[in-house]
Amino acid sequence: MEIEDPPLENAFIPTIPDIVSAPKPKKKQAKRLYFDFALLQTFCNENGITLLEDYSQKFVTRNMMVNGTCRNQDCKETFTLGFRTLYRNNTGYCIACSKKDHVSRMQKGCLSKYGVDNARKCQSIVEKGKQTCLDKYGCEHPSQNEDVKQKIKDTCEKVYGGHPLKNNDVQKKRKKTCLAKYGCENHQQNADVKLKTETTCLTKYGQKCSFESPELRAISKQTVLLRYGCEYATQAESVKEKTKQTNLKKYGKAHPLQVESIKEKSRQTSMARYGVEHPMQCPSVSEKSLHKAHKYKLFTFPSGNEIYTQGYEHFALRDLLDVHHVSEEDIVTNRKDVPKLWYSDTNNKKHRHFVDIYIPSQNKCIEIKSSWTVNIEKSHVFQKQVAAKKEGFLYEIWVYSSVGKLETIHP
């Protein structure tokens, strides 16, 4: 059985004018915000801001400049902002705290969006940046592109007359900024920056210094090999020549340490830092240098104690223990503990002398030489002996052959 459609006699069919004239649904209007004194007072009370002026009797508008104390409770500075900017941006900080707040907000935004506090730490963003650079410049970083390099160079030449860091005004401004920010002329002199650098390197490379990482050292060597054909830039003849020309232009000498003013500055720095005119005259530095040397030998005492030795010192230690029966406790080799001796060479230049072995119970210093070195350095060796005897010490020079035979003792 089929069901018939109802008759259309009384049905309403809307015409085009009816559709056009039909009323549109009204949008829900947002509550209008009035930038008046009541809003200003509420905002300041909620955020701990103290106004520096009485605005209750003023005609308050959204464009009015507001003066108040920084909302950071630990800060004593003030701010001046437009009312609308103050309210819309939920600010109320001084210039310094405003920058910190901006960084904090950025970090929170990055954490919520990428899971890290900086977008550049997100691997997908890094890869996207590399791909964009590859598409645009043909390399992973813009500064690797020759056109970009040249453009940077031309801009620096035009603005600064060369590299920015060679410009005196830029150098002064940089020092001034570092002094204001870190309390020193170079940010790497600041203890907090040093600690942060070490922490970052430990996190990234597992070492306090990035160049202690074998991986980074290998990358560095590879880069230098590609660029100069050797593992270290200073091995390249072009770099040596460039360094020489720079020194000649800057100091009038091929090497900075040929300049008397620089030598004097070096001496003053060493005096301030180590208490001596040359770092190698400092016992701790000299001892550290010995441990870092490639040509050292380990000597083991009967007690199992191990010390570093150089040259033929191990022969003398063997003879002191086995032949002369000197006790281990009476043998001093550490450069921090041997007597402080000074001597002057033929040019009347003063030198610090660290004797090889000192025996306190006998007040005796022993210097160890090979039969070859004692002849080559004859004048210096005996000048040291004379200087030590003047100080009241017994001083002997023991000369050994290459097979460990004691050939001569110079008392």
| Cα 122 from Cα 35, distance rounded (Å) | 41
Q: What is the pLDDT of residue 1?
A: 44
Residue 346 has pLDDT above 80, yes or no: no
Average pLDDT over residues 97-111: 91
The pair of three-digit structure tokens given for residue 352, joined into one six-digit string: 């610090």
Among 253, 277, 305, residue at a domain's last position: 253
Per-residue pLDDT, 320: 85
Q: Where are the beta strands (DSSP E) in 201-311?
A: 297-300, 306-309
Q: What is the pLDDT of residues 108-133, one digit of tens each?
A: 999 999 888 888 888 899 999 999 99
Answer yes or no: do 298 and 230 share one domain. Answer: no
pLDDT in tens, 297-335: 788 888 888 887 888 888 888 888 888 888 888 888 888
Domain boundary among 59, 85, 102: 102
Residue-wise pLDDT for 177-203, tens only, equals 999 999 998 988 999 999 999 999 998
Are 329 and 241 contained in the same domain? no
pLDDT at 314: 84
Strands 364-370 and 394-400: parallel
Query: 55 lies in a domain?
Result: yes
DSSP string, 210-275: GGG-HHHHHHHHHHHHHHHSSSSGGGSHHHHHHHHHHHHHHHSSSSGGGSHHHHHHHHHHHHHHHS
> Residue 264: inside a domain, yes or no?
no
263-303 pLDDT, tens per residue? 888 888 888 888 887 877 777 777 677 666 556 778 888 88
| Range list of β-strands (E), 276-355 | 297-300, 306-309, 341-344, 350-353
Averaged pLDDT, 152-168: 89
Mean of pLDDT over the chain: 84
Contact residues for 127 (Cβ-Cβ < 8 A; gap 6+):
none
Cα distance between residue 371 and residue 407, in whole Å: 8
What is the average per-residue pLDDT within 246-251?
88
pLDDT for residue 3 is more than 90: no
Stretch 212-222: mean pLDDT, rounded?
Answer: 88
Structural domain of 236: 221-253
Tens digit of each residue's pLDDT (9 = 90 or more) over 4-22: 555 555 555 555 555 555 5
Residue 61 lies in a domain: yes
Output 380 or 192, whichever has higher pLDDT. 192
* Across 51-60, 91-100, 149-158, 381-390, least confident range: 381-390
Q: What is the pLDDT of residue 18?
A: 54
* pLDDT tier at 61, thresholds 50, 70, 90: very high
Is 259 contained in some domain?
no
Mean pLDDT of 222-230: 89
Question: Quick one: what percent of the chain has pLDDT higher than 70?
Answer: 90
- Give Cα separations from 267 to 42, 232, 263 (angstroms): 64, 28, 6
Mean per-residue pLDDT, 203-227: 88
pLDDT band at residue 28 under the 50/70/90 scheme: low
The predicted model gives 34-48 an average pLDDT of: 91
Question: Which of the listed residues 230, 253, 276 is the one where a domain comes to its end?
Answer: 253
φ and ψ at residue 170, rounded to 5 degrees: -65, -40
User: How confident is the model at residue 16, as a pLDDT?
Assistant: 55
97 contacts 117 by C-beta, under 8 angstroms = no
Same domain, 240 and 297: no
**Single-letter residue type at 4:** E
pLDDT given for residue 93 in this prediction:
92
Which helix (H) or strand (E) element contains residue 82? strand 78-82
Q: Strands 350-353, 364-370: parallel, antiparallel or unpaired by DSSP?
A: unpaired
Contact 240, 230 (CB under 8 A): no
User: Does 382 fall in a domain?
Assistant: yes
Residue 94 lies in a domain: yes
pLDDT at position 155: 93
pLDDT at 212: 85
The pTM of the full predicted model, rounded to 2 decimals, is 0.44
Q: How many residues does the chain have?
A: 411
User: What is the DSSP code (8-state) at residue 274?
Assistant: H
Q: Regarding predicted confidence, which is higher, 256 or 31?
A: 256
Report whether pLDDT(2) > 50.
no
pLDDT at 175: 92
Share of the chain above pLDDT 90, in %: 25
- Specify whether 398 is located in the same domain as 300: yes
Q: Which amino acid, residue 145?
A: N
Q: Are residues 397 and 305 in the same domain?
A: yes
Q: Which residues pair with 344 in a beta bridge?
A: 350
Q: Tell whether 328 and 394 lie within a shared domain.
A: yes
> How many structural domains is the chain composed of?
3
Name residues whose C-beta falls within 8 Å of residue 96's C-beta, 6 or more positions apart in sequence.
Answer: 75, 77
Task: Give domain status of residue 248, yes or no.
Answer: yes
The predicted pLDDT at position 297 comes to: 79
231-240, 281-290, 366-375: the lowest-pLDDT one: 281-290
Answer yes or no: is 321 within a domain: yes
Encoding tokens for residue 146?
């020759």
